[in-house]
Structure formats: C-alpha cells, structure tokens
Amino acid sequence: MLELHFTPNYHNMFTWRESLWDFACVSTDVYHARWEHLHPHTVFFRGLDDTQPDWIELEVGGFCTMKDGPHLPDMDTFRADFASEEKQRNFVIPDGAPYEESSVSLRFSASSYAGGKYFYTVVFYRDHAELRIRYELPGSFALARAEYCLLTPERGTYFASDVMFDPCPTANCVQYTSLNLRHVSGSNGERWFSPAPFCYPIKMRDGSWIGVSAAPSADQLDFTGFCEEPREIRGNSFALDYTALPRYADAFDFPTLVFRFGAADPYDALRAYADGLVTMGKVPPLRRQIPDWWHGVMLCGWLSQHYGCSQRSYEEVVRVYDEAGIRWDILTIDDFFGDNKKYGIWQEDKERWPDLRGFIDRQHSLGRHVLIWVCPFGEGLPDDESYVVGEQRLPDPESPKYLARLEAALRHMFSPDEGCLDADGLKLDFTGGVPDAGEPKCTRPLYGMTYIYKWYKAVHDAAKRAKSDCLLDFQVANPHMAAFHDMTRLNDEFMPEALELPAMRTRAEIARAVTYGGLVDTDGPASQAYIENSHTFGNLSLYFTTEAIRSDPKIVEVIKKTIRDRLHR
C-alpha cells in the first residue's frame, strides 16, 4: 500500500529532522519520501528505519545540452505546479491497482535561458520513484546530452553511499567502484557487452541497494551511453550521451530515470531493473524456448586457425579433440568463413571451405552442432545497402535491399535444402560500433542504441525464420536487446589467471540478471580453475589450442573429468 501525507511541523509523524515549514511525505512498505513546500525541488528518500540517514537528496531537475551548448533552466522561473489545497488531503492507493493509478505525482516547471520550457514530474510508486522530464523548444535542434538530477552544472543529487557497482565490464576487472568517478554504461567503448545494462546499483550506508536506471521505450534509444558522474560542488548526476547528435523538433521527452529501492545486492538491483522495464511497458514480456542442445559443451577454433578460418584448420581441430577423447557438443567456426575483405557478405569462401556443408553434415551425424562467426562490418556491401557516415560503413538495417540480402544469407547458412549449409547458429562479434556524428547516407537516420536495436532485430528475425531453433550467441547483456539473442557471450579477457574466474563469474551474473533467462557462453579462459568451475554459471567453453591438447595431458584430463563428473557425461 502507498500512502501520501501532507503534515505540518507541529504534528511531525516521522523523526527525521526539525523543519520550519510544512512538509509532505509519501510512505510505502519499502521507502519514505518527503519534501518541504518552500523547497520542493529537493525530495528526500529514506528507508523504513528512522534511525538511519536519508538515502537520497534528489535534486528534481535536468537539462539538455545541444550542439550549441547547454540549455540551462532559469531558477527564477522554477515553479511547483501542484495545488496548495492538496496539502489538506491524504491519498491511499490500494495494492493491485493498475500500474499508472498506483502512484502519486509532483509536477514542476521552469523556463530555459534559451527560450524553451522544462516540465519535471516525480512519480512515486510502491517500490520505486520515477523522474520524468520534457523539454519544449520551438523549431529543430540537435541534441548532444540529456542531464538528470541537477538544476545547475555544479550541484547534483546527494547519495548516502560510498560504493557503486559498474555493470559494464572493464579491462581492470573492477566492478565495485566509487561515485566519485565518472562511469559510462551502454556505449561499450571497451566492447565487452554491447550494450551493458542502463542501470547503476548503488549501495547505501545502511547496507541496502538502490538501482538508478534509464528506462527508455524502444523509440527512445538514440543515445550511446548512460553516465554517472560527480559534480563540482556536491553530489552526482546522471546523463545520456547523444554523440551522433540526433535532431528533434519542438519537444524532447527524456527517457524516464528510475530509482528502484529494496534490493539485497547489485544483481538483485539489476534483476529488479529488468523486471521493472516489463512492468512499465518499456520492454515486452519474454518467454524463452530453450532446446536441450543449447546447454552443450562448446568448442571454439579461434586459437587453432593455423591455416586461417578454413576447412583444413577445423578438420584438424575436430580430429585433435576427438583423439584426446574430449566429448563436445557445439563447435564455433570463428573469424571468418567468408572473404576477409568483405565482412558484410555472409557467404563461404569456396577456396578455404570447399565443402562446408559436408563438414557440418559430419558433425551432425555425431550429434553435434555448428555455429558460424559473423560481424556487423559493412565491407563489400553496395552503397544502397550500407549506412555510411564519413569513412564509416555499416549495414543499413532499414534498407530493403540489405534486408533481402540478410534473409538470403541466413537462409543459405541455416536451411537443410540442397546447396545450403544447414548450420545451427551464429556467434556475433564486434558489435560495439554505432553510427558516428555526421550526415548519414542511408535509408533513414538511426542513432546510438537505436541502430544496434534495429540491426539485432533484423538479424534475429531473419535467422529464426530460416531455422527456428538456431542459437544466437551475442555479446549483449541488456534487457532492451534480450529478445534478439539466446545466449550472452562473456567476451574476451586480458587478465591474470587469478582474476579470470571471479571476473567472468561477475559478467555472467550481470547477464543472467538482465536477459530474462538467456544462457551464458563462458568464453575463453584456459586455466584449470576456470574449466573446473565456469560450468556453474554458463556453458563450458573450450578455447584451447590444438598444441595444448596434444602436449598437456593434465589439462586434457581436467577437461574430461569436468565433463564426465560435473556435467554428468
């Protein structure tokens, strides 16, 4: 149950602090929130324990930065737009009421120095609060950034916290970090997850966790990164970067910023974020159908492509593993089965793969499956199938000609018909690229995550039409993209052996929290500890060279014992 009380200071029903003014408060069975009527642009959130300090001092505000600079709100025009007579009312909202009716809203407005007007709304729900912002500005404008939780660039929102969990894997394997550093999630600059979740779990000093997340709808994904950063004087803010400078006309609705309370740990906060997107209607519900063979032991030939990605190399890989007595289920043919100068053309190179269909058929006869590596590079595609910005060339996911090519390529790869390959799925790599800023040559301009969303959807839909149980193994851990892939690849690791297992387990837990039951490809570490334990958080994945399998009987026995004893083979 959610209740709203407006209470004068002489009848203070909480023990927070003395106030010279009337204050109002929202109470639920998860959190309390309050604000003073003379300073309504600060909303204080806290837990149910009156002895603990406030969790958050939310600065209700935000602003746009355009190509020509920031459009700051004029504080002299800031207004609280809720009626004064509401101070005399109490609101009780029953459990089980429709989502949008189970809330209480505060509305504010301010003019900008650039001639526009901001509208701010804080909406309180039982277990979370939302900050919604709309900016109205006559004419067309190029957006560079959307800032939240501040009214001036120097002062942000205060969190009673020293610890934040970064959901975007980094080269130094540090996920628990400080709010005093700038973080970017989703832009995938290091390309481990593309994209990572748009959520920052923050640990309060009372031990509870709060998830602060961006909640865009499918048509609000033009940004490239979700940022958290400290401000110069006090507090922190959040922002969405729009590095491709998308254009809008007359108004811009910021993606909703959500504060979700009551998590037990960072992964619980990430699960709540993902589930909350479904409840909010930002992501459709997803029910996965998972064939048994998707759970198999995976083998990748990347480190054994001595003769390039060729039939000769992979015949050797299969022979060496078989001679060692290692039982595996899913083989990935890695970078690249086609012409290496034409990554955009998904067609086997007949010189290097004279009989790819025959190779795949032989694996099928032994109960095995085969995935083929592809990537989103546009080399080899004609101009009318490409998304071109300056020197950058990507596939155009809205070009009818490219979509027809994609459909034909995946039908050729997956169909059992004569002349086709009858492969079983894709490993999709190098997916961190989004269109650069500039005038694109394309069917329709697409920006930031919108481009990735459209391209993933095009690949997924064409692949599933060609073979409904094909396995799509992408390096993605994000609720908005979860419907377009079946498995999250944990991606490359460049770390000391002692860090491999904990770092990759963390990546797996992030992926499992936000992909609605998607599977995990545990990827490439080749240590004994990783082989013995990685199957507890995903598919066992073997990346050993053929030389290691031939020359290291100890590691061969570890692999065989893990498969036999722990995977019940």
**What is the per-residue pLDDT across 509-542, written as a single tens digit (0 to 9) for each?**
999 999 999 999 999 888 899 999 999 999 999 9
129 and 62 within one domain:
yes
Q: Are residues 68 and 169 in the same domain?
A: yes
d(CA 547, CA 254): 54
Q: How far apart are CA 386 and CA 401, in angstroms?
A: 10
Residue 289 lies in a domain: no
| Domain end position, chosen among 279, 313, 333 | 279
Residue 556 has pLDDT above 80, yes or no: yes
pLDDT at 15: 33
Give domain status of residue 285, yes or no: no
The region that residue 136 occupies, defined by phi over 0 for left and psi between -120 and 50 for alpha, beta otherwise, is beta
Residue 157 lies in a domain: yes
pLDDT, average across residues 178-206: 86
Residue 215 shares a structural domain with residue 304:
no
| Bridge partners, residue 488, by sequence | 474, 520
Domain check: are 320 and 270 in the same one? no
Is 70 exceeded by the pLDDT of residue 100? no
DSSP character for 94?
Answer: -
In a domain, 103, yes or no: yes
Shared domain check, 233 and 333: no
Model confidence band, residue 102 (pLDDT cutoffs 50, 70, 90): confident
pLDDT at 10 over 50: no
Could you tell me the CATH number of the domain that includes residue 27?
2.70.98
Which CATH number is 498's domain given? 3.20.20.80
Taking the model in full, what pTM does it have?
0.93
Contact 190, 174 (CB under 8 A): no
Total structural domains within the chain: 2
Are 324 and 403 found together in one domain? yes
Residue 98's pLDDT band, with cuts at 50, 70 and 90, is low
Distance between CA atoms of residues 352 and 278, nearest Å = 46
pLDDT at residue 18 in the model: 35
Residue 286 in domain: no
Is residue 287 included in any domain, yes or no?
no
97 pLDDT band, cuts 50/70/90, is low
**What was the pLDDT predicted at 49?**
85
Statement to judge: residues 307 and 229 lie in one domain: no
Give the H or E element holding residue 277.
helix 266-279
Quote the CA–CA distance of 215 and 354 in Å, as a whole number. 48
More confident residue, 48 or 381: 381
Supply the Cα-derived Rg of the chain in whole angstroms: 26
Task: Assess whether 158 and 303 both reside in one domain.
Answer: no
pLDDT, position 420: 98
> How confident is the model over 424-428, as a mean pLDDT?
98
Both tokens assigned to 223: 């940004």
Residues 178 and 309 in one domain: no
Do 194 and 328 lie in one domain? The reply is: no
Most confident of 33-47, 91-105, 156-170: 156-170
When comparing pLDDT for 75 and 97, which is higher? 75
pLDDT at 7 > cutoff 60: no
Averaged pLDDT for residues 111-139:
96
Are the C-beta atoms of residues 195 and 452 closer than 8 Å to each other? yes
Q: What is the pLDDT of residues 69-94, one digit of tens each?
A: 999 999 999 998 764 434 434 444 45
The domain boundary residue, chosen from 240, 255, 279: 279
Summarised one tens digit per residue, pLDDT across range 247-278 is: 999 999 999 999 999 999 999 999 999 999 99
pLDDT at site 87: 43
Asked if the structure places residue 206 within a domain, the reply is yes
Q: Render pLDDT for 38-59 as a digit per residue (tens, 0 to 9).
A: 777 899 999 988 788 899 999 9
Residue that finishes a domain, picked among 254, 279, 304: 279
Q: Does 76 share its domain with 131?
A: yes
Domain that holds residue 506: 294-566
Residue 188 has pLDDT above 70, yes or no: no
Average pLDDT over residues 272-295: 96
Residue 380 forms part of a structural domain: yes
- How does residue 3 score in pLDDT terms, banded at 50, 70 and 90? low
Domain match, 257 and 320 both: no
Supply the pLDDT for residue 94. 52
Q: Tell me what pLDDT residue 495 has.
A: 85
Helix axes 448-466, 400-414, angle to 10 degrees: 40
What is the average pLDDT score of the chain? 90
Give the model's confidence band at 16: pLDDT under 50 very low, under 70 low, under 90 confident, else very high.
Answer: very low
Percent of the chain at pLDDT > 70 equals: 91
